[in-house]
């Protein structure tokens, strides 16, 4: 599992601040978890990485993510992504979400890859990058969203059509959007119901 808590990395003095810091952290976690050979790093890419170049980090992340064997299952959690929807970071966070979505949807990954993206509030941009038919929002009660989902809300939510590869739903008690994307490395389809 690799993860990044965006709300904890917005300060200027943070060494892994913003989308560039997120990519640095995710790459480091992948390398520590799976201990890949990094023979794919060219001189050009090495120079970009030494300069902490955002595009170079994204290229490296993409290459590292393609390394695990097909029998590997990877989870990636990006929590509170709305904190990175600032004007200064919007282009970069959009690039990251597109990169992850493209890797999953274009079947470029050998391993099973689950992407979970959360936001404690409605996102301004990120949620629009996923199809509306794969989105499900569950809100709390009328008391400022502090309640729990009712049985009726759960039943209605479970009847909504959803694609196996994309699911968006909201966590209990808050209007919290969660995006789960699944890439199954095998020819057969896997069932997401097992992880509910």
Q: Per residue in 44-90, pLDDT tens? A: 999 999 999 999 999 999 999 888 888 889 999 999 999 999 999 99
Distance CA(175)–CA(146), nearest Å, equals 9
Distance, CA of 21 to CA of 169 (rounded, Å): 27
pLDDT, one tens digit per residue, over 17-28 is 999 999 999 999
Q: Supply the mean pLDDT for the chain.
A: 76
Q: How many residues does the chain have?
A: 196
Quote the pLDDT of residue 153: 59
Looking up tokens 């979400």 gives: 97
Instruction: Examine the pLDDT at 173 and tell me if it is beyond 60.
Output: no
CA distance 71 to 75: 13
Q: How many CB atoms lie within 10 A of CB 181?
A: 22
pLDDT at residue 155 greater than cutoff 60: yes
pTM for the structure as a whole: 0.71
Of 97, 29, 25, 20, give the one whose Cα is nearest residue 68. 29
């Amino acid at each position: 599992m690799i993860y990044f808590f965006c709300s904890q990395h917005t300060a200027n003095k943070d060494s892994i601040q913003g989308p560039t810091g997120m990519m640095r952290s995710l790459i480091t976690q992948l390398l520590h978890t799976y201990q890949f050979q990094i023979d794919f790093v060219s001189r050009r890419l090495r120079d970009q990485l030494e300069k902490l170049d955002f595009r170079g980090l994204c290229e490296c992340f993409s290459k590292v993510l393609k390394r695990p064997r097909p029998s590997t299952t990877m989870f990636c959690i990006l929590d509170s992504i709305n904190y990175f929807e600032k004007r200064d970071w919007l282009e970069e966070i959009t690039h990251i979400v597109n990169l992850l979505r493209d890797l999953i949807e274009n079947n470029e990954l050998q391993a099973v890859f689950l992407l979970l993206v959360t936001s404690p509030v409605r996102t301004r941009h990120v949620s629009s990058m996923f199809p509306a038919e794969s989105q499900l929002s569950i809100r709390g009660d009328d008391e400022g969203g502090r309640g729990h989902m009712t049985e009726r809300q759960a039943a209605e939510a479970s009847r909504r059509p959803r694609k196996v590869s994309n699911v968006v739903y909201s966590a209990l008690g808050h209007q919290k959007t969660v995006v789960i994307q699944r890439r199954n490395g095998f020819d057969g389809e896997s069932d997401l119901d097992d992880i509910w």
